């Protein structure tokens, strides 16, 4: 291979690495993403490890969310965390949830309201389309031929959202964080099992690289261990102390990976 070919291969490799890291960094807030990049630029071997995880099929959203929850999940109480993130108190979220649920019921009633012969709003949309205004505003993201379907399921989506809104950001997250130090260990175990399910083994070097980069990006939260030996010991202890929960985590990981594979295959078929 001549010098020009080697340079071309190196450029392609660098571009691939950049795209991979961008997928991970995009999950963070902008100031955090800057620090994330800074850490990896200073640690090229760890950047390469993250690139390898992406190329192996790891979902950046899943990887980064679990790493963040491990590194920063217990700095504040859940109620205070929710208020800082949303600007809503627990009472305001509960009130919003009730209004949303009522809106879902009202929309469901309007969807079922029928004129002579059983003609409804969503039936008219199916046969007449969305109209000029909707075509101009929604067509790029929601074609009119999908509107009737989306309108009929809107009440269900709103009702489901109202449940999660009352327990923002997630009922299970709140339950985990109500027990001191359990949440952090749970999210680390979930993170490790997910990587293990994707790769077929626990890549502790790659796991440590992600945790270290995220830890740096979040401002190095205190009382968080990032060395691989500590991470491994924590997961092994969690497995021993919580065998049932660990089994549930493995089932979740297998389901998540299977779903991602199916979605990727479906997108590939649509592209062709």
Domain boundaries, the chain: 18-74+180-271, 87-173
Instruction: Check if the beta carbon of residue 36 is closer than 8 Å to that of residue 217.
Output: yes
Contacts of 155 (CB under 8 A, 6+ apart): 104, 105, 107, 108, 111
**Cα 178 to Cα 90, 167, 215, 254, distances in angstroms:** 15, 13, 22, 27
pLDDT of residue 271: 47
Contacts of 138 (CB under 8 A, 6+ apart): 130, 144, 147
Task: Summarize pLDDT for 207-247 with one digit per residue, the tens.
Answer: 999 999 999 999 999 889 999 999 999 999 999 998 998 99
First-to-last alpha carbon distance for the chain, in angstroms, is 34
Alpha-carbon span 210 to 64, nearest angstrom: 8
pLDDT of residue 123: 87
Alpha-carbon span 70 to 182, nearest angstrom: 10
Least confident of 37-41, 77-81, 265-269: 265-269
**Percent of the chain at pLDDT exceeding 90:** 53
Residue 184 banded pLDDT, cuts 50, 70, 90: confident
pLDDT of residue 165: 87
pLDDT of residue 141: 65
Give the pair of three-digit tokens for residue 205.
Answer: 């070097």
pLDDT of residue 77: 62
Instruction: Check if the beta carbon of residue 147 is closer than 8 Å to that of residue 130.
Output: yes
Alpha-carbon span 193 to 205, nearest angstrom: 14
pLDDT of residue 7: 47
- Nearest to 61, CA basis, from 174, 191, 242, 182: 191
Task: Summarize pLDDT for 1-19 with one digit per residue, the tens.
Answer: 555 555 454 555 667 778 9
- Nearest to 256, CA basis, from 182, 198, 177, 181: 198
pTM of the complete model beyond 0.85: no
pLDDT of residue 143: 65
């Amino acid at each position: 291979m001549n010098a020009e070919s080697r340079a071309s291969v190196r450029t392609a490799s660098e571009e691939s690495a950049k795209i991979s890291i961008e997928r991970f960094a995009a999950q963070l807030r902008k100031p955090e993403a800057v620090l994330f990049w800074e850490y990896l630029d200073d640690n090229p071997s760890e950047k390469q490890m993250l690139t390898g995880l992406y190329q192996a099929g790891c979902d950046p959203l899943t990887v980064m969310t679990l790493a963040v929850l491990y590194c920063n999940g217990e700095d504040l109480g859940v109620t205070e965390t929710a208020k800082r993130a949303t600007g809503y108190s627990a009472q305001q979220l509960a009130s919003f949830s009730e209004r949303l649920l009522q809106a879902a019921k009202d929309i469901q009633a309007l969807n079922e309201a029928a004129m002579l012969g059983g003609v409804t709003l969503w039936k008219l949309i199916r046969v007449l389309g969305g109209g000029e205004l909707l075509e101009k505003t929604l067509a790029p993201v929601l074609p009119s031929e999908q509107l009737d379907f989306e309108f009929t399921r809107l009440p269900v989506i709103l009702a489901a959202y109202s449940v999660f809104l009352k327990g923002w950001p997630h009922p299970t997250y709140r339950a985990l964080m109500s027990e001191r130090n359990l949440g952090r260990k749970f999210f680390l175990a979930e993170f490790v099992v997910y990587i293990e399910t994707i790769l077929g083994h626990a890549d502790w070097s790659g796991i440590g690289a992600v945790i270290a980069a995220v830890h740096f990006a979040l401002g190095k939260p205190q009382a968080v261990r990032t060395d691989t030996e500590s991470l491994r010991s924590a997961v092994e202890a969690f497995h021993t102390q919580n065998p049932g929960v660990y089994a549930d985590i493995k089932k979740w990981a297998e389901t998540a990976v299977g779903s991602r594979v199916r979605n990727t295959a479906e997108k590939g078929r649509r592209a062709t």
